Structure formats: structure tokens, C-alpha cells
Amino acid sequence: MNTAKPFDFNHFLAPRGVVIVGASADPGKLGYAQARNLVESGYRGAIHFVNPKGGTLFGQPVYVSVAEVPDPVELAVLLVPAPAIPPALRECGQRGIPAALILAGGFRETSAEGAALEAECVRIAAEYGMRFIGPNSVGLLNTYLPMDATFLPPPHPMQGDVALLSHSGAMCLVVIGWALEHGFGFSRLISLGNQANVSETDMLAVVADDAQTAVVTMYLEGVSDGRRFVDEASRVARQKPVVALKVGRFASGRRAAASHTGALAGQDSAYEAAFRRCGVIRANTMQELFDWARSLAHSPLPQGRSIAILTNAGGPGVAASDALEANGLRLADLSEETRTALRSLLISAASVNNPVDMLAGASPHQYATSLQILLADPGVDGVIVIFPSSPIYSDVDVADALIPVIQASSKPVLTALLGGIRVKGAVERFRAAHLPDFELPEWAAVAMSVLLQRAEFLGRAAQTPLRPIAAKPSFSGDIHQLLAAYGIPTAAVELATSAETAAAIANRMGYPVALKVASPDISHKSDVGGVLLGLDNPQAVVQGYDTVIANARAARPGAHIEGVHVQRMIPPGQEVIVGVVRDPQFGPLAMFGSGGVEVEGLKDVAFALAPLTAADADYLLDNTWAGRKLRGFRNLPPADRQAVREVLVRLGQLAEDFPEISEIEINPLRVLADGQGVFAVDVRAG
């Protein structure tokens, strides 16, 4: 039994003492910048410096080795060249220092030799029970301790309630500058570097547990352990909002043996599915990352999707209306009581419908009172206030009138302050009050939809994957038998190696039948003329056998052809595709969408982590045209949607139970009339 104590990550974020190995008195060296930042940050723990040259630095002695450093010391910052890192790390282990930041580059991000150095660091840390962040990190910040253990140039970030975990050190520098310009600060900022020993998943719960952190933001280039990340993020997101900017959106994921499922499931599909499962909100830009973080940190959540718009100019109000609807929200229907109260307050030319347009002469009093009236309407779940600079009134006066109303509201109010330098005073007032402001009404509308997304996530009970099959069946290698064992109906298929055999099989099965070329080298049989449908007599089967073989040989002369599969024709119905493919990070992904030969052209597909929860299964069906069409459309009667849902759930469990199967694709899955079930018409597995 492992009795090792869990590692205390306070050694990183709240150490009693810090030693900088590689500290330098030369202002041109990073070792000087690191020492300066730690001293000037106001860190109140013990500060130690190490450099073989000795001397003094910032009025303190510089020790020639780590062994000479006195207690207390819990965190070592290693700023020496890459080849010197392993012996320096070993010295720290021998000294009993539990945590280290490795800031040097030149490891696995550069070469095989660097990768070997990094692996050696991991071995040394394990030997001494240490943990380290990096290498290739810029360090970390705790603005509340306070402690700046980075070498980043000033100015340094303000205190705030947003934590940042970043895979990119350069992005930390960019983010700090952007945050200072936009008037918000950080609670913790951690540059993770190569994550050789401490990952984003390790630190996620650590920063979320901070009392000063309201929202966790993440700049991700990947995750080190997909399933563990999902488990941890699922727990953390119930506690605090998590917003992630995952870059590399269009990088190719693993391709699986030329199947539709493999071709359509890229790396990004897996991340989308993972974030949706665990409640992580995905931003597309750095602007969104922190706009949304500020909104989540400082706004109540809406209880519904009916939003009012208050403006003194019609055009921005229309733009906000469009953006609301584009993001799944709607304009609230204002009550007659609300409209009457607005009429008594505003000039007669004003519009008291939603959007409420007070016109250009709206006063600070009218802004504040109109907002109070809208917030009092039971049919309003939130308000977007738009303020283009007024030709009459001071922007600061408008801000001062609005801010107390917003602060007292139990409903979210997001404000778009338009006009750049003309509304600078109002912007400063809002930021001093820790209220989110936006430069465009569309951005405010998107942020409101994010607040609703958060509210709906918290309103759903945490779900566990569905497991309709109690015991794992045995697998002999026949995918049709395995599907049958999981309760997924398949159309009977038999292999014929001659035309006469094909006719005999068809006679036994009953007509009509389909013929499909049997070849491991031909994935898409209809593309080569390898499929014939609706054959209703023995002569047609004999002729069809020869035709299918001839077509396949002409199209693929080098393909190995085993014969022809004979299959009983299934009654007509809607055709969809279902499948699973194994992602290297997150494991099996379930896919659902429009099936048949147009699947790749339409790209009407959705993905979810398998095994599926009830919410995952509903998502797949509700967010594709193929799924919505199952309810019936024009001349199409309703099909058996529940049977499709059951197939998705069972296929997801099958993929989890049999990790040796890399992918399964059913295309098409024929969906019969409502209540009559489904049939897997064409199945392939790898």
C-alpha cells in the first residue's frame, strides 16, 4: 500500500522561503530580473540567492551552493542553463527542498538531447519526492501573498480575482499587459512550460481552491491526460467557472483507417466534447477569455434567456438584438406595466418596446430609472445597457447613475460603452467598481450567453455515463455478433465466394437482397460500383455477383477481393451515421449525423465523449439536422428516435469495454418508423 503523503502545492504558491539558483548582479541577466521581481513584489518569506561567484545582491548574501542555504526554503527557482539543471535539481533534493520552478529552455521542445535531460529531471524529482513546474516556464505569481517568482519585466499585474494557467510563457507577458490596459488583475498566474512533472490538471484544483480566485482561466495547447482532466475539471467547474482558450483548433487529429468517423473526428472535436462534458467554457480569443472571465466573476447569472436592451441609439440596439438571437437568447416581451412606466419617464418619441430606445438626449436619471424598471419586470432575465457617448450629458455622470443600480441587481446587467476616448471616464468608473464593460454591443450579447451557459450547467445535476449492458460480452472477432450482444440490431450478412453461392444464400434469406463487394482494401464500396440493391430473384443475384466483382476489380485492380456479401434488404427509413473513434487523449468519441454517401460533404455531425451520459445522447440528436429530422419533417414521418438514442448509448459502452477496437462505424443506420426500431446496414470496425 502506498502511504506517501499527498504533495502540498502551497510549496509553490505560498512557500515559507525561496531560493533563486542562478541569481545574478548583472541587470542584463534573467537571474537579476528574477531576484528583483521577488524582492520588489513584497514577498515576506525568506529570500535566498545562489551563484558560485558569491557576493551580495539586493543587500543579501549570495551563497555559492544550495547546500549552504539556511532554513526556511520550500521553493527553488532554477535559472541555470539546461545541462546544469539536473545536478542543480539533485542538489535541491538533497537539501530537502520540496518544490522547484525550472525556467530554462532547451529541453524536449528543442531536441532529443533536450528530451533526455527532461526525463532525467523527472527521475531525480521522483527519487527525492519533489515536484517541479517546467521546464521552459517563466515562473508564477501569487498577487495576494504577495510573491512574484517570474523574470517578466514590469509593470506587474494588479491583484484581482481571475487565475490563469498558461502553457505559454510569452502569453503570460502578453496577458499581463492586456489586463493592465483593461483594468483587471489576477489572483494567481502560473506558467506551466513543458509540464514534465506538474500539469494543468494538477494545478486546476489548486488555484480553484484559492479564496481570492473567482474564475479560473486557461491558455491550453493540449492536455497531458485527457480523461483525468475531464474528471478534475468536472469537479472544479461545479465549484467555480473555468474558461479555456484552447489553441491549435485546426490541427489535424488522428485519422482512423479512412473511415468517415475517423476523417471527421479531428483533435478539436475531442476537445469540444471534453469541455462540454465537464462544463469548461471555451473561448475563441484572448479578448473573449477575459471578457467572459470578468463577466462570470462580477455578474449574477440569468434565470432564463429573455433579455432586455436599453439604449439611447437605435442602431447599436438592433446589433445587440441580432447578436442575442445568434447566441441562443431572445428579446424579452416587456409587460404592459413596464411599458407604461417607461412612457411616463421618457419623451414621447422614445420607443418603449424591446430594445428600449430612449433617444440621444437620455439623461443619467432616465438611464438609471429605466434600468430599474426593466429589472423589475418578471419577464426580464437580464439587461444589456448600451451607452454611446451623449451629445448632452457627461459619460461619467451616466456611469455614476447606473453603477449603484447594477450593483444592487440580482439579475445580470452588462454594459456596452461605445465611443472609445469619449467614454473613457465611464470606462474607468465601471472598472473601478469591478463591473464588466464592453466596447461593442455584440460582445456584451455573447458574454450574456456565456452567463446563461454557466447557469444552465449548474442547473443540471451531475451525470454519470449510462451502462445498459451489465456484463461485458465475449468477443470472437465478428463485429456483427458483438453488436448483437450489445443489443444493436444488424441486417444479416453472409459471404458468398461464387455467384451460385450468392443465389443460394439469397434464397434462404428471402428477397429482396443487397450485394456488396467484400474487400478489406475497399472502405467505400458504393464509390467503386461495389453495391447493388433490391435484387429480387436468383438470376438477378447471379448477374449482380459478377457485376459487383467486375466493377471492383476495374476500379481497384490491386485490391484483395474475398467475394460478395449478401444482405437482406431492410424496409425504407431515414439513414444516419453512428460511430466511435478512439482519440489518443480522451479515449472513445461517439459520433452521430447525416448518413449515407453524403456524410463527408454535409458534415452534419456531432461528437461526444463515450460512454455517453443522457445529456450527451440528447446533445448528439438535438444538435444535428439528422437528429432533428427524426422527429418528422414535411413528407418524412417521425422515425424511431429513441431507438437511435439507445444505439448511441450502447455503442459508446461497447467502445469503452473494448479498448482494443480503435473505431466502429455504422453507415447507414436505417431508422424505421417510430416504434419500429433500427438496423445497422453497413458496419466496419478496426
What are the pLDDT digits (tens) for 294-328?
Answer: 999 999 999 999 999 999 999 999 999 999 999 99
**Residues recorded for the chain:** 686
- Rounded distance between C-alpha atoms, residue 584 and residue 659, angstroms: 11
Q: Which domain holds residue 342?
A: 300-459
The Cα-based distances of 563 to 398, 502, 528, 547, 560 in angstroms read: 80, 9, 15, 12, 9
Residue with cell 458496419: 683
Task: Name the pLDDT band for 102 (thresholds 50, 70, 90).
Answer: very high
CA within 13 Å, CB half, 70: 6
CA proximity to 70, closest of 78, 61, 80: 61
Task: Name the pLDDT band for 598 (thresholds 50, 70, 90).
Answer: low
Instruction: Say yes or no: 455 and 309 in one domain.
Output: yes
Quote the pLDDT of residue 669. Answer: 95
Instruction: Say yes or no: 619 and 655 in one domain.
Output: yes
- Rounded distance between C-alpha atoms, residue 111 and residue 105, angstroms: 11
* The Cα angle at residue 373 between residues 370 and 378, in degrees rounded to 5: 145
Instruction: Say yes or no: 410 and 454 in one domain.
Output: yes
Mode of pairing for the β-strands spanning 281-283 and 242-246: parallel
Mode of pairing for the β-strands spanning 60-63 and 46-50: parallel
Q: Is 642 inside a domain boundary?
A: yes
Residue 49 bridge partners (DSSP): 20, 62
pLDDT in tens, 143-155: 999 999 999 999 9
Least confident segment among 178-182, 231-235, 349-353: 178-182
Q: Which residues have C-beta within 8 Å of that of residue 108, sequence separation ≥ 6?
A: 114, 115, 118, 194, 196
Q: Count H helices, E strands: the chain? A: 23, 30
Q: Is 479 inside a domain boundary?
A: no
CA within 13 Å, CB half, 438: 26
Quote the pLDDT of residue 562. Answer: 95
Q: Is 622 inside a domain boundary?
A: yes
pLDDT in tens, 399-441: 999 999 999 999 999 999 999 999 999 999 999 999 999 999 9
Q: Is 163 inside a domain boundary?
A: no
Mode of pairing for the β-strands spanning 306-311 and 356-357: parallel
Q: Which residues have C-beta within 8 Å of that of residue 406, sequence separation ≥ 6?
A: 371, 413, 415, 435
Task: Name the pLDDT band for 2 (thresholds 50, 70, 90).
Answer: very low
Query: What are the phi and psi torsion angles at 513 (to 5°)?
Result: -130, 165
pLDDT in tens, 161-173: 999 999 999 999 9
Which DSSP string corresponds to 617-671? HHHHHHTSHHHHHTT-BTTBPPB-HHHHHHHHHHHHHHHHH-TT--EEEEEEEEE
Grid coordinates of 35: 531576484
Quote the pLDDT of residue 524. Answer: 84
Q: Is 5 inside a domain boundary?
A: no
Quote the pLDDT of residue 599. Answer: 65
Instruction: Say yes or no: 311 and 444 in one domain.
Output: yes
Q: Is the pLDDT of residue 253 over 50?
A: no
Instruction: Say yes or no: 579 and 564 in one domain.
Output: no
The Cα-based distances of 428 to 94, 420, 436, 610 in angstroms read: 51, 12, 11, 47
Cβ pair 413, 375 in contact under 8 A: yes
Instruction: Say yes or no: 447 and 360 in one domain.
Output: yes
Q: Dump strand ranges (E) for 480-572.
A: 493-496, 513-518, 531-535, 563-568
Q: Is the pLDDT of residue 373 over 60?
A: yes
Q: Identify the helix (H) or strand (E) that includes residue 187.
A: strand 186-191
**Which of the listed residues 459, 484, 518 is the one where a domain comes to its end?**
459
pLDDT in tens, 324-351: 999 999 999 999 999 999 999 999 999 9
Q: Is 139 inside a domain boundary?
A: no
pLDDT in tens, 457-488: 999 988 899 999 988 999 888 898 999 999 99
Least confident segment among 55-59, 180-184, 255-259, 340-344: 255-259
**Which of the listed residues 531, 551, 568 is the one where a domain comes to its end?**
568
Instruction: Say yes or no: 417 and 360 in one domain.
Output: yes
Q: Which residues have C-beta within 8 Å of that of residue 679, sequence separation ≥ 6?
A: 489, 490, 491, 570, 669, 670, 672
**Which of the listed residues 534, 568, 602 is the one where a domain comes to its end?**
568
Query: What are the phi and psi torsion angles at 670 (to 5°)?
Result: -85, 125
Quote the pLDDT of residue 595. Answer: 83
Residue 190 bridge partners (DSSP): 140, 165
pLDDT > 90: what percent of the chain? 87
CA within 13 Å, CB half, 38: 31
Q: Is 11 inside a domain boundary?
A: no
Cβ pair 184, 146 in contact under 8 A: no
Quote the pLDDT of residue 491. Answer: 84
Instruction: Say yes or no: 589 and 502 in one domain.
Output: no
CA proximity to 104, closest of 20, 37, 177: 20
Instruction: Say yes or no: 497 and 387 in one domain.
Output: no
For residue 505, the domain's CATH number is 3.30.1490.20
CA proximity to 143, closest of 190, 204, 86: 190
Q: Is the pLDDT of residue 126 over 60?
A: yes
- Rounded distance between C-alpha atoms, residue 358 and residue 379, angstroms: 20
Give per-residue burial for 533-565: e unless 16+ CB within 10 Å, then b.
eebeebebbbebbebbbebbbeebeeeebebbb
Instruction: Say yes or no: 449 and 502 in one domain.
Output: no
Is residue 381 classed as helix, strand or coil in its secondary structure? coil
Cβ pair 140, 102 in contact under 8 A: no
Instruction: Say yes or no: 348 and 430 in one domain.
Output: yes
Q: What is the mean pLDDT of the chain?
A: 93
Q: Is 47 inside a domain boundary?
A: no
Number of structural domains, the chain?
A: 3
Which DSSP string corresponds to 12-74? HHS-SEEEEET--S-TTSHHHHHHHHHHHTT--SEEEEE-TT--EETTEEEESSGGGPPSP--
Q: Is the pLDDT of residue 255 over 50?
A: no
Instruction: Say yes or no: 314 and 450 in one domain.
Output: yes
Cβ pair 330, 304 in contact under 8 A: no
For the chain, first and last CA: distance in Å? 39
For residue 417, the domain's CATH number is 3.40.50.261
For residue 673, the domain's CATH number is 3.30.470.20
The answer to whether the bond into 155 is cis (omega within 30° of 0) is yes
Cβ pair 140, 191 in contact under 8 A: yes
pTM of the model: 0.90
Grid coordinates of 116: 533526455
Q: Identify the helix (H) or strand (E) that includes residue 583.
A: strand 574-583
Quick count: other Cβ atoms within 10 Å of Cβ 470?
Answer: 5
